[in-house]
Amino acid sequence: MKLFAVQTFFQLGRDRSDLLINALWEHIEMSLISLLIAVFIAVPLGIFLAMYKKGAEPVIGTTAVIQTIPSLALLGFLIPFVGIGTMPAIIALSAYALMPILRNTYTGVKGVDPALSEAARGMGMNYGQQLMKVMLPLAMPTIMAGIRTGMVLIVGTATLAALVGAGGLGDLIMTGLNRSNNYYILLGAIPAALLALFFDAVLRITERKSSGSSITPIFIVVLAAVLVVATPNVLQALNLAEDEPEEIVIAGKIGAEPEIVINMYKLLIEEETDYEVILEPGLGQTDIVFQALLNEDIDGYFEFTGTAITNLLNEEPVSNDEQEAYEQAREGMLEEFNLVFLEPMAYQNTYALAITEEMAEETGVETISDLTAIEDELTAAFTFEFADRDNDGYPGVQEVYGLDINDVQTMDPGLRSEALVAGDVDLIDAYSTDSYMIRYNLVTLEDDENLFPPFNGAPLFREDVLMEFPEIENILNQLGGRISEEEMMEMNYQVDVEDADEEEVARNYLIEAGLLEE
């Protein structure tokens, strides 16, 4: 069994080697840039603070405060200011590494025996010479220890950067979490750990080589890091000079379904125009991707009507009729945000409450109302988003059904179906088209009070984008009214469970539907 698992893991590594190498490279690049920035800020600042002493504690204290901000919160906080992608990731990662490097530099330089610095001055060294010949070499072991700590922090935290579209090994981990696939998680986590060990070894060797009067090896390593980071970017910049077709950036939230759908958008647009479509799949949850759209980091993404009404517009749904809900969402988004909601597809991916088949048989529960009878014995696992959504989330359920579940836990979307199947919880919130509905034979409870608004998926674009590229409106409206719930569930299953490529799944559907030629 174990051997089988190891084989599966390596098989996945081979099959996905392109993905892995790309993610690894993104991870290295992001980590190195962040580390270099942190070093270039924290080391000179630490030296300055150590020499002038005043103000050291407040400054170091500030970096310590930054350290206490949860990394995801910091990433999310940065998006309105710097947008999505590598930029917020690098800023956040640099900020995290500041504290250990600054503190160690300060301690190291301050800890140099005053007699030695007096000797250096008395012998007629100027400030620079004192620093390079005496202070830095003596403080170097402490400074390097700080840099190594900062580096491990960066490489570890960089896995979260996937949530803001920065890519890296976190992409693989998020995919794994989302699909409840441990091999993907390991495919991201193991290289991340090895990367941390590798960087640590490089820094340790550098430190050993530089113990002595010379700190040249440090400069060589810094230079090498700068080159590694700069070369591809310079090459890219040179390539950019050439004429490129116009680009449209389309994003999707985390998960198989948005990624399949936006691949369909890409295939259709590129089939019928010369535009190049760049996809940003897995861009976190609603807040992050919506903010990215408003920031013009992306041009459009795949959104649901229900989410637009209750979450983005913060309105009550006027009706449970799909068409009326769509009208409400379309008008609201246009008025409030100058965003255009194109025609929605047929299937609904509504929120649902789901239980296992066995439990349904045991308790005879069929509707959400039925739950109130057994609410004192229930344990539920909800996503953070569901637990928080006023109108169509758990607060809404409490209000409309008078349901008061004994124990509610919040967890990542990818984990809650596992928790349900493992018997840790009795009830979860589910998306009706998610693959685990098939995989685990889950039963959805009827929304007998019609609480959940219709959730039809549709492209959401900025108005100015559609003015610039008017053709894409008609192209994407071809998907309007298509794709049934069963078809979507099947496609999700192919990706999540059978590990099919999202683009292939999208292409097959479009060909079958006659929208794309073979």
Partner 1 sequence: MIEFDQVTKQFPDGTKAVNNINFRVKEGEFFVLIGPSGCGKTTTLKMINRLIDASEGTIKINDENILSKNLHKLRWEIGYVLQQIALFPHMTIAENIAIVPELKKWSKSDTNARIDELLEMVGLHPGTYRDRLPSELSGGQQQRIGVVRALAGNPDILLMDEPFSALDPLSRDQLQQDVGDLQKQIKKTIVFVTHDINEALLLADRIAIMQEGSIVQVDTPENILDHPANDFVRSFIGNKTNPWKETVEKVMSETDAPGAPVIPHTATLTKAVDQLKASEKDVLRVLNRNEAVGSISYKQIVHYLSDFEASVKEEVQK
Q: Which stretches of the chain bind partner 1, using CB under 8 A? A: 113, 115-116, 118-126, 129, 133-134, 137-138, 211-213
Residue among 115 and 240 whose Cβ is closer to partner 1: 115
Please name which of 179, 275, 211 lies closest in space to residue 499, comparing C-alpha atoms. 179
Of residues 118 and 271, the one with the C-beta less far from partner 1:
118
Give 123 or 197: the residue with its C-beta nearer to partner 1: 123
- Minimum gap (Å) between residue 117 Cβ and partner 1: 9
Find the distance separating the first CA and the last CA of the chain, reported in whole Å: 41
- Strand order from edge to edge, sheet including 427-431: 407-410, 379-382, 427-431, 351-355, 443-444
Q: Judged by CB, which is closer to partner 1: 136, or 166?
A: 136
Residue placing its CB nearer to partner 1 in the complex, 141 or 480: 141
The count of C-alpha atoms lying within 13 angstroms of the C-alpha of 459, restricted to the half-sphere facing its C-beta, is 31
Rounded to a whole number of angstroms, the minimum distance from the CB of residue 128 to partner 1 is 11
Identity at 461, one-letter amino acid code = F
Distances in Å between the Cα of 254 and the Cα atoms of 76, 149, 330, 426 are: 15, 31, 23, 25
Q: Are strands 276-280 and 247-251 parallel, antiparallel or unpaired?
A: parallel
Measured from the CB atom, is 51 or 513 closer to partner 1? 51
Sign of CA dihedral 365, 347, 281, 296: negative
Closer residue to partner 1 (CB): 133 or 439: 133
Q: How far is the CB of 138 from partner 1 (least distance, A)?
A: 6
Contact 344, 480 (CB under 8 A): yes
CB of 218 vs partner 1, minimal distance in Å: 14
Q: Spell out a b/e string for 328-353, using b for 16 or more CB atoms within 10 Å of the CB, else e.
A: bbbebbeeebebbbbbbbbbbbbbbb
Query: Given the complex with partner 1, which of 139 and 495 has the nearer CB atom?
Result: 139
What residues form DSSP beta bridges with 444? 354
The distance of closest approach from Cβ of residue 146 to partner 1 in the complex, given in angstroms and rounded to an integer, is 18
Min dist CB 211 to partner 1, Å, is: 7
Closer residue to partner 1, CB minimum distance, 138 or 497: 138
Tell me how far, at minimum, the Cβ of 125 lies from partner 1, in Å. Answer: 7
Q: Which is nearer to partner 1, 140 or 427 (CB)?
A: 140
Greatest Cα pair distance, the chain, in angstroms, is 90
CA separation for the pair 417, 497 (Å, rounded): 13
Shortest Å, Cβ 140 to partner 1: 9
- Do β-strands 339-341 and 427-431 pair in parallel, antiparallel, or remain unpaired? unpaired
Residues whose CB is less than 8 angstroms from the CB of residue 378 and which lie 6 or more positions away in sequence, other chains included: 371, 405, 406, 407, 426, 427
Return phi, psi of residue 171, to 5°. Answer: -55, -45
Identify the H or E element spanning 326: helix 322-337
Between 119 and 197, name the residue whose CB sits nearer to partner 1.
119
Rounded Cα distance, 285 and 305, in Å: 15
Minimum CB–partner distance for residue 130 and partner 1 (Å): 11
Closest CA to 281 of 311, 306, 255: 255
Q: What are the structure tokens assigned to 484, written together? A: 């049934």
- Least distance from partner 1 to the Cβ atom of residue 198, Å: 27
Q: How far is the CB of 213 from partner 1 (least distance, A)?
A: 5
d(CA 454, CA 373): 27
